Chain A
Amino acid sequence: MKQLTFEIKTNEQIAKNVYRMQLCGDTTGILPGQFVNIRVEGQFLRRPISVCNIADGILTIIYKVVGVGTEAMSRLPIGTQLDVLTVLGNGYDLSKAGDKPLLVGGGVGVPPMYMLARQLREIGKNVRVILGFNTKDEVFYEEEFRALGCDVTVTTVDGSHGVKGFVTNALDGKQSYYYTCGPLPMIKALIQAAGTNGEVSMEERMGCGFGACMGCTIQTTQGPKRVCKEGPVFPAEILIL
């Protein structure tokens, strides 16, 4: 864990209720699948947000406005200095990817897939990406994943964009391994349908976000695990869902 100051470079809406913030600061040590925990003026607890990308000293996060804290974040002007805890959580294990990894993101579970996809492409993997949303107004980052050279399928529940239905409607079972982040019903369905091993980024309401308070501990087949410390990424086979 590091406690650092970052400066907001951009903070803009990219889809319905979804914002992208680019932050300038020390990004060293941050791994795909990790998160940062941001102090927001007027809120007691920090806001844990997954890392979407790091590049040239810029940390990119994508967040959905779901309550007062994220609403306040969406109104922060460029130039604001933020108190940020970084290098939190474990991150994805790239060594398990195999030749044809599948990345599945649902809604605001999409952002952590981006840095993972980029790093998997950099080591020459054939990366297939399935991005699931409810409707076309919520879709983001389809082109960004294509620009990395990924094979991208978008699904929408109402069929207004891409394949109609859920992410599981786009599975072909040909992946070597999968990585996922998204809502719990999606994760459950994916684990059932995937046919291979994989790993899952979990989301829970957190107190501290760095392992001190035990607020986010889940039960696994290997005993209690803190989502913020031993997670947020867990092998699918140890989860009790």
Chain B
Amino acid sequence: MNRLQISLSGITLANPIIPASGTYGFGDEFAELYDINCLGGISFKGTTREARYGNPLPRIAECGNYGMINAVGLQNPGVEHVIAHELPRLKSHYNGCIVANVSGFSVQDYVETCALLDKEPIDILEVNISCPNVHNGGMAFGTSPEAAAEVTAAVKAVTTKPVYMKLSPNVTDIVAIAKACEATGADGLCLINTVLGMRIDIRRRRPVIANRYGGYSGSGIFPLALRMVNQVACATSLPIIGCGGVSSAEDVIEMMMAGATAVEIGAANLTNPMVAKEIVDRLPALMDELKIEKLTDIIGIVNHE
């Protein structure tokens, strides 16, 4: 028996660990350091209908020891290039669950990109309605239940793949948005994306990030992410991929106890490129210590009173 095994919408993952989109590229850099087949899944770099350069530089600001702000702005080569080049390469050396992260600037963008990916060897569509770094972009869809529902329904109509909506924390009521996605047919949810933030260079008297604001990620957002995962887990019956500030095996257990079925590792990959493998390796001993027989036993366990 594989004690770490979990399942998302009928897809079996050897363990719940998935590097988060935008922090792992297509895995090439990490494959130089370790065999990436140890990972339950990989959520590849956010992909749009057309190629994008993204935002002006600087795109990165550090936030002490707890995180960073990024305003990359969905730099990617476009879905057709991804299908022709990146996906075959990833597929050739990775056997686990491939999560295709998709962004758009209109409902039509999402529909076309997801329709193209529907014919490809990906396992899950992760529909990003929560990127804080593009004007008129994904986050606008993730900040109202009506818009989130519209994207969910439109994407579901053009794909047979499981559709997981990636939600923004930059909202008043994430539960209302989660419920809207559930009501319109989402197969699962992924939360949270980055938290809109800012840093100022006090010597130059101007924002550090050229785009002024960016997405704050890293261990500093873990409590916020955990709270939102728990709220959504209590209010919907969809499987949840928990994400936000996870940087240790302990954080993974905590996220699963809050209600996550799988767990994405984001900014931590950028500072310790070995972290995802280290977490996978550490989990069995930690489970022994915590008397957890198998990980599926603890999903949402704090909600079972």
Interface residues of A (CB under 8 A from B): 1-3, 39, 42-46, 69, 85, 204-208, 210-219, 224, 229
Specify which chain A residues have a CB less than 8 angstroms from the CB of B274 in the assembled complex. 3
- Name which of B63-71, B84-92, B119-127, B295-303 contacts chain A: B63-71
Given contact pairs A212-B269, A214-B75, A45 touches B53 in the complex (Cβ within 8 A)? no
| Cβ-defined partner of A44 (8 Å) among B33, B58, B66, B273 | B66
Question: How many whole Å from A40's CB to the nearest CB in chain B?
Answer: 10
Q: Is the CB of B70 within 8 A of A213?
A: yes
Question: How many whole Å from B46's CB to the nearest CB in chain A?
Answer: 10
**In the complex, A205 Cα to B199 Cα: how many Å?**
14
Residue B270, interface by CB 8 Å: yes
**Residue on A nearest B52 in the bound complex, by CB:** A224
Q: What 1/0 flags go to B267-302 for Cβ under 8 Å of A?
A: 101111110000000000000000000000000000
Residue B138, interface by CB 8 Å: no
With a 10 A CB-CB cut-off, give which of A205, A214, A218 has the most chain B CB atoms: A214
Q: How many pairs of A and B residues are in contact by the CB < 8 Å rule?
A: 96
4 closest A-B pairs by beta carbon, nearest first, are A208-B270, A215-B60, A205-B58, A214-B75
**In the complex, A45 Cα to B22 Cα: how many Å?**
16
Question: How many whole Å from A85's CB to the nearest CB in chain B?
Answer: 7
Specify which chain A residues have a CB less than 8 angstroms from the CB of B28 in the assembled complex. 211
Question: How many whole Å from A107's CB to the nearest CB in chain B?
Answer: 17
Q: Is the CB of A205 within 8 A of B72?
A: no
| Cβ-defined partner of A207 (8 Å) among B30, B54, B270 | B270
Given contact pairs A210-B29, A212-B24, A213-B270, A45 touches B70 in the complex (Cβ within 8 A)? no
Question: How many whole Å from B270's CB to the nearest CB in chain A?
Answer: 4
| Cβ-defined partner of B72 (8 Å) among A1, A210, A213 | A213
Residue B25, interface by CB 8 Å: yes
**Residue on A nearest B71 in the bound complex, by CB:** A215
Q: Is the CB of A45 within 8 A of B68?
A: yes
19 A–B contacts, CB within 8 A, in A order = A44-B62, A45-B68, A69-B62, A85-B273, A204-B57, A204-B58, A205-B58, A207-B59, A210-B29, A211-B29, A212-B23, A212-B25, A212-B269, A212-B270, A214-B54, A215-B72, A216-B57, A216-B60, A224-B53
Residue B32, interface by CB 8 Å: yes
Q: Is the CB of B271 within 8 A of A3?
A: no
Q: Is the CB of A214 within 8 A of B68?
A: no
**In the complex, A33 Cα to B23 Cα: how many Å?**
25
Interface residues of B (CB under 8 A from A): 22-25, 28-30, 32-33, 45, 53-54, 57-68, 70, 72, 75, 218, 267, 269-274
Q: Is the CB of B30 within 8 A of A45?
A: no
Given contact pairs A39-B271, A210-B273, A44 touches B63 in the complex (Cβ within 8 A)? yes
Specify which chain A residues have a CB less than 8 angstroms from the CB of B53 in the assembled complex. 217, 219, 224
A69-B62, A205-B58, A210-B273 given; name 19 further pairs at CB < 8 Å. Answer: A1-B273, A3-B274, A39-B271, A43-B65, A44-B271, A207-B70, A207-B270, A211-B28, A212-B269, A213-B22, A213-B60, A214-B54, A214-B75, A215-B58, A215-B60, A217-B53, A217-B72, A218-B57, A224-B54
Q: Is the CB of B59 within 8 A of A216?
A: yes
Q: Is the CB of B273 within 8 A of A3?
A: yes
**In the complex, A103 Cα to B71 Cα: how many Å?**
35
Q: Is the CB of A214 within 8 A of B72?
A: yes
**In the complex, A217 Cα to B32 Cα: how many Å?**
21
Q: Is the CB of A45 within 8 A of B271?
A: yes
Specify which chain A residues have a CB less than 8 angstroms from the CB of B267 in the assembled complex. 44
Q: Is the CB of A205 within 8 A of B66?
A: no
**In the complex, A224 Cα to B30 Cα: how many Å?**
21
Question: How many whole Å from A86's CB to the nearest CB in chain B?
Answer: 12
Q: Is the CB of A44 within 8 A of B30?
A: no
Specify which chain A residues have a CB less than 8 angstroms from the CB of B25 in the assembled complex. 211-212
Specify which chain B residues have a CB less than 8 angstroms from the CB of A204 in the assembled complex. 57-58
Specify which chain B residues have a CB less than 8 angstroms from the CB of A218 in the assembled complex. 57
**In the complex, A208 Cα to B72 Cα: how many Å?**
13
**In the complex, A217 Cα to B60 Cα: how many Å?**
11
**In the complex, A43 Cα to B67 Cα: how many Å?**
9
**In the complex, A184 Cα to B23 Cα: how many Å?**
28
| Cβ-defined partner of A43 (8 Å) among B32, B59, B62, B273 | B62
Q: Is the CB of B271 within 8 A of A46?
A: yes
**In the complex, A214 Cα to B52 Cα: how many Å?**
12
